[in-house]
């Protein structure tokens, strides 16, 4: 069982919240504050509940302390986003005597943002002494950083057993509710999964995990060509994974056949000799890609077929773009899947995967989905059906 922040009593307690403030920086500027805004509901809730809020995150990939990757900029941004209603204090480390003193001096309604956790290599090494030091700052541990839940680090897993009480934050709750309950555990039928993106090898475990659960699995993106080639279909210069990956694709097709689950491949393509769309772009009449061409998007017949499947579904989960959507000429397949999901108001619609989420965002469909996961790698691992260390650590008996 997992408790949520609302289930706890926070008055006067030191509430340590692991957030995902891994925001993009350009020099001295936070260029996208989405991740900070997404953590606000949990931070506000903890403050309303009378907690003394301690926030911790990693930022970038520092090797040791690196002023360019300090969370100090994030503290400024956060204070602004909280509307100046709460004082946000920045700690110049995440462990040590100074931080302990800052935590002791903290008053209800104040927020203390710790310095970048990854300034200490012990964070990623999940060092026990370091985990205990972090835990010593807290009466209550709250994890709202779904995006790092697939990593067993000191702040996501190691410290948790050393804190008295633990709970998931509101963002984490939404991820578990959608990816866990509404997709993996209790999907309304028909349940359709759409998988695309660059490599079959990245998605093998997701395919294996979803095949027994779904009514159909629709494939697009570059990985479709590995499946087509595995069946002996000519794929021209399309991006394929060779060797054992072809055998693996063939095995997955066999598994689907045995389970009687349609694993649906594109029946036509948008092709071009150049991946950036320089030169003539054509639609193919069938599954075959001409020898000197690359398949860069699903074609119109495939779009119509996938749209139909999505329209009839009650649960749709999507990971991986249908084509090289960064180039407008090859974005139509991805756009049509997003549109079909957005229009289906009777279905639970969930997007996982970094590039897919970015595509949906960019195309303006994000707020029409039931849920767009905030964790790229984490959502993929969640859909593989493995318990994520950061979520497992929150389980109580
Ligand atoms: P996600 O992050 O959503 O899990 P992936 O990282 O697996 O998705 O794949 C996204 C990438 O795959 C994009 O950069 C996209 O351009 C690329 N891609 C999709 N289809 C094709 C294709 N047919 N040919 C080449 N690249 C493709
Ligand atoms: Mg990606």
Task: Report how far ligand 1's centroid is from the alpha carbon of 221 (Å).
Answer: 6
Q: Do 141 and 18 touch, CB atoms closer than 8 A?
A: yes
323 in contact with ligand 1, CB cutoff 6 A? yes
Could you give the domains of the chain?
Answer: 5-168 (3.40.50.1260), 175-383 (3.40.50.1260)
Rounded Cα–Cα distance for residues 22 and 148 (Å): 10
The pLDDT value recorded for residue 397 is 80
323 CA: nearest ligand 1 atom: 20
Instruction: Give 129-157 pLDDT, tens digit per residue.
Output: 999 999 999 999 999 999 999 999 999 99
**Smallest-distance ligand from the CA of 326:** 1
Rounded Cα–Cα distance for residues 219 and 195 (Å): 5
Task: Report how far ligand 1's centroid is from the alpha carbon of 295 (Å).
Answer: 12
324 CA: nearest ligand 1 atom: 16
Instruction: Give 194-243 pLDDT, tens digit per residue.
Output: 999 998 888 999 999 999 999 999 999 999 999 999 999 999 999 999 88
333 in contact with ligand 1, CB cutoff 6 A? no
Q: What is the pLDDT averaged over residues 76-83?
A: 96
Instruction: Give 251-307 pLDDT, tens digit per residue.
Output: 999 999 999 999 999 999 999 999 999 999 999 999 999 999 999 999 999 999 999
| Dihedral angle computed from the Cα positions of residues 103, 75, 37 and 122, in that order, rounded to the nearest 10 degrees | -60
Instruction: Give 314-330 pLDDT, tens digit per residue.
Output: 999 999 999 999 999 99
Rounded Cα–Cα distance for residues 163 and 154 (Å): 12
- DSSP-assigned letter for residue 294: E
Task: Report how far ligand 1's centroid is from the alpha carbon of 4 (Å).
Answer: 35
């Amino acid at each position: 069982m997992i408790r949520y922040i609302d289930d706890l009593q926070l008055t006067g307690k030191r509430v340590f919240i692991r957030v995902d403030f891994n925001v993009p920086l350009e020099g001295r500027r936070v260029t996208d504050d989405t991740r900070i805004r997404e953590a606000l509901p949990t931070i506000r809730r903890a403050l309303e509940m009378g907690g003394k809020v301690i926030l911790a995150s990693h930022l970038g990939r520092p090797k040791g302390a690196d002023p360019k990757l300090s969370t100090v900029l994030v503290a400024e941004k956060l204070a602004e986003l909280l509307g100046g209603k709460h004082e946000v204090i920045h700690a110049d480390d995440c462990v040590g005597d100074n931080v302990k003193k800052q935590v002791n001096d903290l008053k209800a309604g104040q927020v203390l943002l710790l310095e970048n956790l990854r300034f200490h290599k012990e964070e990623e090494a999940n060092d026990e002494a370091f985990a205990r030091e972090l835990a010593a700052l807290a009466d209550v541990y709250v994890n709202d950083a779904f995006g790092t839940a697939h990593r067993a680090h000191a702040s996501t897993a190691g410290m948790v057993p050393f804190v008295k009480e633990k709970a998931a934050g509101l963002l984490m709750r939404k991820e578990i509710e959608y990816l866990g309950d509404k997709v993996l555990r209790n999907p309304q039928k028909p349940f359709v999964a759409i998988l695309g993106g660059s490599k079959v090898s990245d998605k093998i475990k997701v395919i294996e995990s979803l095949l027994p659960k779904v009514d159909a699995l629709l494939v697009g993106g570059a990985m479709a060509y590995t499946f087509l080639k595995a069946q002996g279909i000519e794929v021209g210069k399309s991006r394929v994974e060779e060797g054992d990956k072809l055998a693996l694709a063939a095995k997955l097709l066999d598994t689907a056949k045995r389970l009687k689950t349609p694993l649906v491949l594109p029946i036509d393509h948008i092709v071009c000799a150049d991946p950036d769309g320089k030169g003539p772009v054509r639609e193919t009449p069938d599954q075959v890609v001409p020898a000197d061409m690359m398949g860069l998007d699903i074609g119109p017949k495939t779009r119509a077929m996938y749209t139909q499947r999505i329209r009839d579904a009650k649960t749709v989960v999507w990971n991986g773009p249908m084509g090289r959507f960064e180039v407008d000429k090859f974005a139509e397949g991805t756009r049509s899947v997003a549109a079909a999901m957005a229009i289906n108001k009777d279905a639970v619609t969930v997007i996982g995967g970094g590039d897919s989420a970015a595509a949906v965002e960019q195309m303006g469909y994000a707020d029409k989905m039931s849920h767009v996961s905030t964790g790229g790698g984490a959502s993929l691992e969640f859909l593989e059906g493995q318990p994520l260390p950061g979520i497992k650590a929150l389980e109580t008996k």
